[in-house]
Structure 1
């Protein structure tokens, strides 16, 4: 007897496949009659008991999220949200937002060297220039529901967290401005009444890595408790110093002779003479680039004023003394290693921030609750950075490559916010929430760019100082959202938010070198006052001005509980990012987004498998593109252009499975199509052709290009197995990430401007003893792949920022 071969059907388009997967998740759930057990996230010291309980169960623990500004089950929340527990953060050794991205579908993060910040892209939309006081991100960061407006907040160490929620799609109604394509909310671990508990952890690794963290919960009375948490992480830099150039003296003299002759002919009263290259100007020791040295401390207090009135307040101090990430040559010179560079500007970072976060919750009666959420933070920073990266070694003291440093002399940000929320509580036919918001920022920065010919001994090529002594942002909003629970299955939601934004630049200037040969040819440094007569500088742009704008954003959504363990939702929502001011005090327009989305959330096989899917289409208008440019008069500025828009569509799926009591698997997969609308873009970070448009020196028509950091396909697979031992458990873990190729800029400039498709493998092995101590070994980027996160070629030689090379280490801890 023969069995006929099955017919193989040709697969349809990505969207057709997405629809089939969406329906498959729903159909699988029809047969289910029981849900999963619901347990809220616990502090780290309580997770040992939870892990033991989970190890003896085939049910995936339920997770609660605050995506709708009230605590709801993840599987009953009609929003595309990824909830990452404290245990998952530990298992994946998450320290910064850049470590989170592989755990979330459609999420990516890019490191920026000169400012040492991380910029984020979600569902194909982001802004690599959201690293200054001028540009805002499309993905908003919140800590305990309080907005963190500046990108430096995204680099802060993530420690002692209850978990992280990543909301995909515009969240403008409940979460506010700049959450155009999504929001990230980090929930810190809170004090608990009547509990004396905590944990300590220490670890070591290669690159001289030393780390430590811990927390202790202290009961102060039957109505008050304190929690103290700390973290410190440090490791040496990954970038080795290359030896100074060894050029014969006669060769140096021959290279310099024409330049010296031309200079002396043009400046007979200020002649220059030949100098041998001073090899002492090249850095050979001290801290290396891509080093970490970060410390943070958090003090939290819970006070139960009355059984119905609770106050949580926290103070957090963060300090960074590491070094920036280096731009490395994509094709190293012969004999040089990938992770090395010819450095003539020593790296330095000094960043300090202080934050206070407060939340008061008052249960007015069984039907209504009031919350007041307030936050204040202050940031001070400075840094020095080798922007040229030694891609073109000097041929003499004043010829060859350009020596360029990007130095943040000072960077000061202060912000505070107030939010009041009044909402219904309990099970009601109509759930509602009303809110008021006020936020204020006061920013100041001085950013210097000295560019010398050859070496720091040479003549000035160009240099400028950008000083913004005061730039303010004021945002006010009123918002509300209501859900009509038509019956036990059908739920209809509508929400709206009205936001009013004001920006002011007071006294901002951009000053550039005027080429005065009588002024000493020395690199710009903090002691130089570019406004002083005879300094060699003049003001190229006066940036003072004001901007005001407003926007109403809204949400309409329907969700339907098909079975007790499956639901389907459909929504239309809008997002908004304010316009603002650029150099010269010129305004740029706002950015808006309309998102159409359908999704499903299903739990089946009696809680063994959880499957969540989302299918979306996003239409952008006024997409903001910011970049440093050279103007026709030779001056430089940071300019922002509004593209006609962008069209993005895609599909996301998340699957978690408890295959057996000992085996757990998680899978995420995404398809993304992100196409830019009409835009003529310029940037000094790339070698571009002359621009036919008046006002821009070099540019490129990027209309229809693929948005950067948006691979068409990406997947993440995590698997772990728990071995029961006589005195504990042994858990090996594997995390594999694969994604297709992606562009690194809007210019789509060929292979150097692209990260080719790649796979990345992380490994872990954890031993949990019955006596509350544990040891966790890890290998990150086990195959040591070179993975680019950004690229540039300002001197026609391609450079890139890379994810860290392979790192190995361990952590050991004890809970009590």
Structure 2
């Protein structure tokens, strides 16, 4: 581990503070050090959870929001760092795609592929991102980050059954030049940079340039015999954003931005142990090259009479090349990765709304979104008797080629809030959505090739009499010539769905400082694609054979469809938001009950070829009941307490399936459903939803100490606690001794209850334009699982892990 020891950090602190004592240029008013802590106030944060700008305290929605300063205090560099800051939020990490997977109240998806979408919608400046990879962007130079919990079936309806993450970038300002630079160092050779320059170019036009980098060495050590390369777990991200704001009159404003984000980290890999020194057997070093260009714009025109017309548009283009080791142990050569994975998406949204001070506030809009994906993903599996058990072919290569997988979504929405009296308001809203998905020409191809240790794979396309329909591939395994590749599944499908969702809510101002609200909302998440059917014939493969497979891929009646049905939910909420103790305490409480139908779940499946795959299905029903509490409290003259609590009862009501890992042996963990014709059918009813702990809490306290020279020290400590978390719907828990001739293992898909400590201290001079912070995250180096491994065909379970202990320093200077 390339780390920075305490002596080096101490020397750095002394040197930097001495060098910067003379930096005292004039500061903006909002940057002046606080003269007296008694003047501190609870920060007023504005949010757009209702598509109007309102204060967090007056917004009748379960939403958490953070300013850039709050994100900086909690060392939020990317989305996964929000873990522990938001009630009922859990974020796990996928290895092969280096992608955060977001769950809110137990609702999310571990499928990060192009076949479906996350249940928690992700937006930047109002532009929707359908790919989970889009959530891996660096969070820098923001006005705010908002996390809405529960279904958002009206204003943010695109697949938002779990919730919404809205990031609002800092906009160019017309009121003067501004700039800052932040530099950070830490253990694991961590280096971070944040910078911004705001430049008014005319009275009505300003531009803003912001950059960010985040690099660190990986912490996964290779075991003996491994191929040496960059350690898994490394970080190498960089981003630049150029934005423009043009305001030629009081009626018109135009925002335009371009952002480029590059992720070249090694990716994560499951290991048996977490902490600072995990290890794994590596045959293929991790490699990831993800590059995304994003264009976003918003045009607002204010008509006479208070009507505002808005256009929100976006275009995204991304590419990914990656390799990821799945070998796990000697003699088990296995890897996978993107040879060429491309994505394009476009959004158009038109919105009309009237003035904020109207007795009836209404919003209507049209939303259009389209994405196209072109994917070549290769994988190699060890021999699993695909050759009849002869052992002559030690490996099986697969290439998953989806040249045209996409989605087109159209929706209309309307919502209105009417003030019955000065204290009572009622809101009604509805959204109609039409979704079309397709896979054209998608094929899963298998190849009996000689052992290779490098990617990409180029399949053998020896001649076959198919009339050119398959380009020389055999139509199935049984018709192959020696050394020939074959089509394992034909994935063509074109499902369509439509749904109307809605919202009803009533609000009551109990006093000028306390508000109650009650709401009912419905959500809808579009269906997802699956691998399609096989060709079972022995003769020449014809167009009619392909047509028959495609027809079966779209046949829901006979349950042969190559897609999973949409999920829907209904959520009932009762909330209170208030200021207390002369506005020195803020308290938000939400009680909710959410009922799910056809809940989409994803779990590990071992295919006939031995591949460890993700397979989706619909659970029958699920219910989630819970309570969430958020609070801020100014303690005494100099202290501030922040805390949140989440209590969840999230279980499957009706979920009958088979054990995707242990098959018939899965009855050792779950009881049989009692169907004599299906003895392997298991009943998961009553099991806990994944990533939904029964109880979780975060407590944070910070305190200002004022020195004789007028400078201040602000130490901070944060405790994050969680009860046990399940990572698989099977809720397997412990594996007994001798099960399938394997040893006993505890918690094979579970994280036991844990507590994690973070701490930091910030020094600010009495007058000057800089501050210096020292921090330690995960102070006790707690080993915390974030998900089960995706390649645990070995006899030893392995896991993805939260970050080990990390410490460092950050210097921020304003100009």
Q: Normalised by the shorter chain, which TM-score bucket?
A: 0.7 to 0.9
Q: 1:307 aligns with which of 240, 245, 250?
A: 250
Rounded Cα–Cα distance in structure 1 between residues aligned with 2:813 and 2:415 = 44
Q: 1:452 aligns with which of 372, 382, 387?
A: 382
Aligned to 2:760: 764
1:583-594 to 2 correspondences below 5 Å: 583-584=531-532, 585=553, 586-594=562-570
Aligned to 2:644: 668
Q: Note the C-alpha offset of 1:727.
A: 4.0
Question: What do the CA deviations read for 1:147-200 (whole angstroms, capped 9, x no partner)?
Answer: 111000111111111110111111120011211121010010100003100100
Residue 487 (structure 2) pairs with residue 539 (structure 1): yes
Aligned to 1:148: 129
Q: Note the C-alpha offset of 1:404.
A: 1.5
Rounded Cα–Cα distance in structure 2 between residues aligned with 1:774 and 1:56 = 21
Q: Note the C-alpha offset of 1:292.
A: 0.4
Question: CA distance change for structure 1 residues 46 and 745 in 2, over 3 Å: closer, same or farther?
Answer: farther
Q: 1:175 aligns with which of 156, 178, 192?
A: 156
Aligned to 1:722: 704
Aligned to 1:576: 524
Residue 141 (structure 2) pairs with residue 160 (structure 1): yes
Rounded Cα–Cα distance in structure 2 between residues aligned with 1:618 and 1:105 = 16
User: Would you say the 8 A contact 2:399–2:457 is kept in 1?
Assistant: no
Aligned to 2:323: 384
Rounded Cα–Cα distance in structure 2 between residues aligned with 1:175 and 1:298 = 25
Residue 265 (structure 2) pairs with residue 342 (structure 1): no
**3-state secondary structure, aligned to 1:708:** coil
User: Would you say the 8 A contact 1:362–1:369 is kept in 2?
Assistant: yes
User: Would you say the 8 A contact 2:283–2:327 is kept in 1?
Assistant: no
Question: What do the CA deviations read for 1:661-712 (whole angstroms, capped 9, x no partner)?
Answer: 3111101001001101333445766777389999999875423210111110
**3-state secondary structure, aligned to 2:630:** strand
**3-state secondary structure, aligned to 1:539:** strand
Rounded Cα–Cα distance in structure 1 between residues aligned with 2:346 and 2:301 = 22
**3-state secondary structure, aligned to 1:546:** coil
Tell me how large the CA RMSD over aligned residues is.
2.5
1:460-479 to 2 correspondences below 5 Å: 460-479=394-413
Residue 367 (structure 2) pairs with residue 437 (structure 1): yes
**3-state secondary structure, aligned to 1:152:** helix
Rounded Cα–Cα distance in structure 2 between residues aligned with 1:375 and 1:432 = 24
Q: 2:227 aligns with which of 265, 268, 283?
A: 283
**3-state secondary structure, aligned to 2:133:** helix
User: Would you say the 8 A contact 1:170–1:573 is kept in 2?
Assistant: yes
Rounded Cα–Cα distance in structure 1 between residues aligned with 2:686 and 2:698 = 29
Q: 2:692 aligns with which of 707, 710, 734?
A: 710
Question: CA distance change for structure 1 residues 590 and 634 in 2, over 3 Å: closer, same or farther?
Answer: same
Aligned to 2:342: 412
Q: Note the C-alpha offset of 1:101.
A: 2.5
Question: CA distance change for structure 1 residues 634 and 757 in 2, over 3 Å: closer, same or farther?
Answer: closer
What residue ranges of structure 1 are gaps of 5+ in the alignment? 1-44, 245-281, 395-401
Q: Note the C-alpha offset of 1:524.
A: 7.9
Rounded Cα–Cα distance in structure 1 between residues aligned with 2:142 and 2:634 = 24
**3-state secondary structure, aligned to 2:96:** coil
Rounded Cα–Cα distance in structure 2 between residues aligned with 1:547 and 1:615 = 36
Aligned to 2:801: 802
Rounded Cα–Cα distance in structure 2 between residues aligned with 1:230 and 1:639 = 39
Aligned to 1:238: 219
Q: Which range moves more in the overlay, 194-203 or 57-66?
A: 57-66
Aligned to 1:739: 722
Rounded Cα–Cα distance in structure 2 between residues aligned with 1:772 and 1:683 = 59
Rounded Cα–Cα distance in structure 2 between residues aligned with 1:760 and 1:200 = 30
Q: Note the C-alpha offset of 1:582.
A: 1.2
User: Would you say the 8 A contact 2:107–2:161 is kept in 1?
Assistant: no
Aligned to 1:247: none
What is the TM-score when the length of structure 1 is the normalising length? 0.84
Aligned to 1:117: 99
Rounded Cα–Cα distance in structure 2 between residues aligned with 1:316 and 1:527 = 32
Q: Note the C-alpha offset of 1:527.
A: 4.1
Rounded Cα–Cα distance in structure 1 between residues aligned with 2:779 and 2:278 = 17
Q: Note the C-alpha offset of 1:723.
A: 1.3
Question: What do the CA deviations read for 1:463-503 (whole angstroms, capped 9, x no partner)?
Answer: 32111111110000000000010111000000000000001
**3-state secondary structure, aligned to 2:138:** coil
**3-state secondary structure, aligned to 2:80:** helix
User: Would you say the 8 A contact 2:159–2:526 is kept in 1?
Assistant: yes
Question: CA distance change for structure 1 residues 801 and 213 in 2, over 3 Å: closer, same or farther?
Answer: same
Rounded Cα–Cα distance in structure 2 between residues aligned with 1:812 and 1:697 = 63
What is the TM-score when the length of structure 2 is the normalising length? 0.84
Rounded Cα–Cα distance in structure 1 between residues aligned with 2:325 and 2:489 = 25
Q: Which range moves more in the overlay, 777-786 or 627-636?
A: 627-636
Question: CA distance change for structure 1 residues 696 and 520 in 2, over 3 Å: closer, same or farther?
Answer: farther
User: Would you say the 8 A contact 2:691–2:726 is kept in 1?
Assistant: yes
Residue 197 (structure 2) pairs with residue 216 (structure 1): yes
Question: CA distance change for structure 1 residues 446 and 698 in 2, over 3 Å: closer, same or farther?
Answer: farther
Rounded Cα–Cα distance in structure 2 between residues aligned with 1:564 and 1:690 = 57
Rounded Cα–Cα distance in structure 1 between residues aligned with 2:354 and 2:179 = 35
Rounded Cα–Cα distance in structure 1 between residues aligned with 2:434 and 2:326 = 38
User: Would you say the 8 A contact 1:582–1:638 is kept in 2?
Assistant: no
Rounded Cα–Cα distance in structure 1 between residues aligned with 2:564 and 2:617 = 7
**3-state secondary structure, aligned to 1:102:** coil
Q: 1:604 aligns with which of 580, 583, 590?
A: 580
Q: Note the C-alpha offset of 1:528.
A: 1.4
Question: CA distance change for structure 1 residues 48 and 93 in 2, over 3 Å: closer, same or farther?
Answer: farther
**3-state secondary structure, aligned to 2:31:** helix
Rounded Cα–Cα distance in structure 1 between residues aligned with 2:400 and 2:197 = 45
Aligned to 1:657: 633
